[in-house]
Chain A
Amino acid sequence: MDPFLIKLAIGGLAVLGAIGLLFGIGLALAAHKFAVKANPKVEEVLEVLAGAQ
């Protein structure tokens, strides 16, 4: 294999991995910071309902 292509592939993996990790952490932090307390009863009631819609 052409060493240039191998370099490109590894670079691509590294860059995409880094982007994914960065944004994943960012989203996780945002979700933690802007967490909304959901009422567990809402979920339970929805479970019991027929849920055709």
Chain B
Amino acid sequence: MKDLRLHVIVVGLLLLGGMLLAGCGAEHRFIKKISFKGTNQIEIAFAGPVDEKWAKNVENYAVYEEPDPDILLNITDVNLAQGGKAVILTFESDLNQTQPHLVTLQDMMAEGRSMGTALLTVKKLYFGYLFSILLGAMIIKNFVFTKYLGLCVFFGTSQKKSTAVGMGITFTIVMIASAMMSWFLYQFVLKPYRLDFLQIIVFIGLVSLSVQAVDTILRKVNPALFKAFGVYLVLVIANCIILAVPLILANSEYNAWESLMLAVGAGTGFLIALFLMSSVRERLELANVPPTYRGLPIAFITAGLFALAFMGFSGMSIF
């Protein structure tokens, strides 16, 4: 058992390392680093100083987004930095940094010698991208407070902290299982056979399948946890976030890792929302609320205030 855990950890670390390495890397020996800078700039760092005459000539650069090789991006300005060891390309419009960009440097000249032509890929660190999906689903585009999804379960189980946390954890587990299964089925079965119009039926089936599977397995493997989850496990089926995530995944071009991050983010975002709400509602029990507002009405007002507070995150971008 211990051996198996060790294996899982080692494999996980290897995968993470691989993803990190995939994020950065310059393919030419004379190029040290290439990265996005600001919204409309690319910085290229060289191993040694380059000739100013070569560097200042815009003709020597060709930059395009990976999917469209025929659309060259317009470079308005080229600046030398770090004593000629770095070049900053400024573009006419903002770069779409979610796409990898290909940069061609024609016949690089350094101290009068030609260094050959370099073809470079510049992309954002993949890890950072995954993290931004996670935080986006969790906080910036929180499903409860910005999209108003899953409200019935949200109000139903946020009266006590313990039930809220239990529901949140159950929800996260079921969410990850069903989102990954539905991503797989959509990408490899529904899409190739052009059956994507059946997605809702299939996704609902998958959600109830994963709830039933977790129910059956947990009942035997961990009865204590099963008792703690109690009725919430079945309630998960009635939550619309769990159906929204597979539908979002079906509409976007996310790969397995990105889908996993979205599912984890949606689950933990729901957990956070439930925890915050239950903390407030526990205190509201002791507050002197006017009789007409007692119970659900004041809870709705609180949720509205939370939504206002979460609006403060809107439009934020990380990495």
Contacts and interface: CB of A to CB of B under 8 A. Distances in A.
Contact of B221 (A19, A20, A31, A34): A34
Interface in B209-268: 209, 212-213, 216-217, 219-221, 223
B198 interface: yes
B189 A19 contact: yes
* Secondary structure call for the A interface: helix
Interface string A14-39: 01100110010011001100111000
Nearest to A11: B193
A8 interface: yes
A30 B193 contact: no
Nearest to B221: A34
Interface in B180-227: 185, 189-190, 193-195, 198, 201-202, 205, 209, 212-213, 216-217, 219-221, 223
A19 B190 CA distance: 11
Interface residues of A, number: 15
A27 B193 contact: no
A2 B195 CA distance: 17
Contacts of B220: 34-36
B210 to A, nearest CB: 10
Given A27-B212, A34-B219, A15 B195 contact: yes
B217 A8 contact: no
Interface hub of B185, B195, B198, B223 (most chain A Cβ within 10 A): B195
A11 to B, nearest CB: 6
A45 B189 CA distance: 48
B202 A16 contact: yes
A20 B194 CA distance: 18
Contact of A36 (B194, B202, B213, B219): B219
B209 A15 contact: no
A11 B195 contact: yes
B186 to A, nearest CB: 12
A12 B205 contact: no
Interface of A: 8, 11-12, 15-16, 19-20, 23, 26-27, 30-31, 34-36
Q: What are the 8 A-B residue pairs with the smallest beta carbon separation, nearest first?
A: A34-B220, A12-B195, A30-B216, A23-B209, A31-B216, A36-B219, A34-B216, A34-B217
21 contacts: A8-B195, A12-B193, A12-B195, A12-B198, A15-B193, A15-B195, A16-B201, A19-B202, A20-B205, A23-B205, A26-B213, A27-B212, A27-B213, A30-B213, A30-B217, A31-B216, A34-B216, A34-B217, A34-B220, A34-B221, A36-B220
